[in-house]
């Protein structure tokens, strides 16, 4: 029996005249994800039709597709001629295992081809009657069935499928540009990266590394977090920024309570230069309002003042529990809580300012040669290509 995977396009249907551009990006992303498993792919009526090569594992392919942004749901479907006799018998055969295990069911039908002689309620009634005849243990439940049998009458064929698997949703990766995420080894920044990739951004990542105060294990942790995110966002170039000398200089020359903010300002300016160099149009951080001293409203204003590039903060209004829930869902949480410190946690003053005045920060900052230390960090940065 011929089978196809149906990937529903979700919010792409709202894109009007630009929809085809988004769908083409989505199909290219699917091609990259599936590679040798893919036989053919096409898009019609807000659905991507995916045929697999012989020998490909459909279950594994569906699992891969759940990490492709832009897909709202995924179904394995049997392909049948547009003949009600073949459709109703095909439904019983194709979904035999699922129907055998279920206790209740209902049939939903969608008739995109209006030339088909039966209307949707008639298709459902006839198919449901055939199922009841062949699976006598089943009962109809239109409110909360164990299985929903869906019949779709399209232009060329009829499709029958059972369970729909929830997709990642969002917009196709790279459909809305490119940004650089400042990624630490903590819980927040990988979640921020995931959330902005879900909105259609392709990603570069920037990590500040302070050897010997942070270990190689800490860097390996960040590489692993980036690898997990690349499972959703595709290949990510991870820029490793040596940052020890810069932090020691800040600690030596600046007021203790200003250290964190000046360090953050330097990091943002370094990140902006790396981002521009790599054709990124924005920066992403994992900052959440009020979570730590450097993330009060005034502190965020001081931090962001030193760059011109847009700063995206997708977690800014979320609490820790909400962030942890997403981290668990996307698979980064267990890696994030490994006990290897990042550069920000190593050089934290005892009493950082929470209500900074920009004039005071600039006065303290003027005691170091910012341009020299920023450019030195940029020049010493190296890149690791990360993919899953």
SS (H, E, C) 234-245: CCEEEEEEECHH
Write out pLDDT tens, residues 232-271: 999 999 999 999 999 999 989 988 889 889 999 999 999 9
Query: In whole angstroms, what is the distance from residue 18 CA to residue 159 CA?
Result: 27
Alpha-carbon distance 246 to 98, whole Å?
Answer: 61
CB 289 within 8 A of CB 300: yes
Phi-psi region of 35 (alpha: psi -120 to 50; beta: other; left: phi over 0): left
Alpha-carbon span 335 to 321, nearest angstrom: 17
The burial class, CB within 10 Å (0-12 / 13-18 / 19+), for 233 is buried
* Cα 326 to Cα 246, 265, 367, distances in angstroms: 33, 28, 41
Q: Count Cα atoms within 13 angstroms, Cβ side, for 122.
A: 9
What was the pLDDT predicted at 342?
A: 64
The yes-or-no verdict on residue 125 having pLDDT over 90 is yes
User: Residue 256 has what pLDDT?
Assistant: 85
Cβ atoms < 10 Å from Cβ of 312: 18
Report how far residue 138's alpha carbon sits from residue 19's, in angstroms, rounded to the nearest whole number: 41
pLDDT mean over 187-193: 97
| Mean pLDDT computed over 371-385 | 97
What's the CA dihedral at 359, 365, 369, 373 to 10 degrees?
A: -120
Backbone angles phi, psi at 111, to 5 degrees: -115, 90
Residues 28-54: pLDDT tens digits? 999 999 988 999 999 988 899 999 999
User: For residue 221, what are the contacts with CB-CB under 8 A and spacing of at least 6?
Assistant: 185, 335, 336, 338, 340
Would you state the pLDDT for residue 45?
Answer: 80
Whole-number average pLDDT of the chain: 93
Closest CA to 365 of 264, 292, 242, 241: 264
Q: What is the pLDDT at residue 348?
A: 67
pLDDT of residue 347 exceeding 80, the answer is: no
How high is the pLDDT of residue 292? 83
pLDDT tens digits for range 62-116: 999 999 999 999 999 999 999 999 999 999 999 999 999 999 999 999 999 999 9
Tell me the percentage of the chain whose pLDDT exceeds 90: 80
349 has a pLDDT exceeding 80: no
Q: How confident is the model at residue 214 (pLDDT cuts 50, 70, 90)?
A: confident
Residues 356-366 have a mean pLDDT of: 92
pLDDT (0 to 100) of residue 1: 76
Q: Whole-prediction pTM value?
A: 0.89
Residues 138-180 have pLDDT tens digits of 999 999 999 999 999 998 899 999 989 999 999 999 999 999 9
Rounded CA gap, 181 and 282, in Å? 9
Q: What is the pLDDT of residue 213?
A: 83
pLDDT of residue 345: 57
Indicate the range of 39-53, 188-202, 337-351 predicted with least confidence: 337-351
User: What number is the average pLDDT over the span 272-298?
Assistant: 93
Report whether 246 contacts 373 (CB < 8 A): yes
* DSSP letters for 129-164: HHHHHH-TT-EE-SSS-SEEEEEEE-SS-EEEE-PP
193 and 181 in contact (C-beta within 8 Å)? yes
* pLDDT for the residue 346: 53
Q: Is the per-residue pLDDT at 368 higher than 80?
A: yes
Residue 358, pLDDT above cutoff 80: yes
**147-153/73-80 β-pairing:** unpaired
């Amino acid at each position: 029996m011929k089978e196809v995977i149906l990937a529903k396009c979700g919010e792409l249907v709202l894109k009007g005249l630009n929809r085809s551009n988004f769908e083409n990006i989505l199909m290219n992303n699917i091609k990259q994800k599936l590679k040798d498993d893919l036989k053919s792919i096409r898009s019609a009526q807000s659905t991507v039709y995916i045929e697999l090569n012989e020998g490909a594992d459909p279950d594994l392919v569906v699992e891969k597709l759940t990490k492709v942004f832009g897909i709202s749901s995924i179904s394995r479907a049997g392909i049948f001629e547009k003949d009600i006799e073949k459709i109703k018998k095909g439904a019983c055969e194709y979904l035999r295992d699922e129907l055998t295990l279920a206790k209740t069911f209902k049939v939903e039908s969608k008739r995109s081809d209006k030339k088909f002689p039966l209307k949707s309620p008639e298709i459902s009634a006839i198919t449901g009657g055939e199922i009841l005849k062949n699976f006598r243990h089943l009962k109809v439940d239109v409110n909360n069935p164990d299985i929903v049998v869906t019949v779709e009458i399209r232009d060329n064929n009829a499709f029958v499928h059972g369970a729909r698997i929830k997709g990642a949703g969002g917009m196709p990766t790279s459909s809305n540009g490119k940004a650089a995420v400042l990624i630490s080894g903590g819980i927040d920044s990988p979640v921020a990266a995931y959330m902005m990739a879900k909105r259609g951004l392709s990603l570069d990542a920037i990590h500040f590394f302070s050897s010997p105060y942070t270990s190689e294990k800490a860097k390996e942790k960040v590489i692993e977090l980036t690898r997990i995110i690349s499972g959703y966002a595709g290949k990510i170039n991870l820029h490793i920024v040596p940052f020890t000398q810069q932090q020691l200089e800040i600690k030596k020359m600046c007021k203790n309570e200003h250290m964190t903010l000046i360090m953050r300002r330097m990091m943002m300016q370094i990140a902006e230069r790396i981002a521009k160099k790599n054709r990124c149009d924005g920066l992403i951080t994992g900052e959440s309002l009020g979570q730590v001293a450097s993330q009060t409203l005034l502190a965020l204003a001081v931090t962001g003042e030193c760059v011109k590039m847009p700063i995206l903060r997708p977690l800014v209004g979320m609490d820790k529990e909400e962030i942890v829930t997403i981290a668990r869902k996307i698979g980064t949480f267990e890696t994030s809580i490994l006990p290897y410190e990042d550069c920000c946690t190593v050089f934290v003053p005892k009493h950082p300012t929470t209500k900074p005045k920009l004039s005071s920060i600039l006065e303290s900052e003027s005691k170091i040669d910012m341009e020299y230390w920023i450019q030195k960090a940029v020049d010493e940065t190296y890149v690791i290509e990360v993919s899953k």
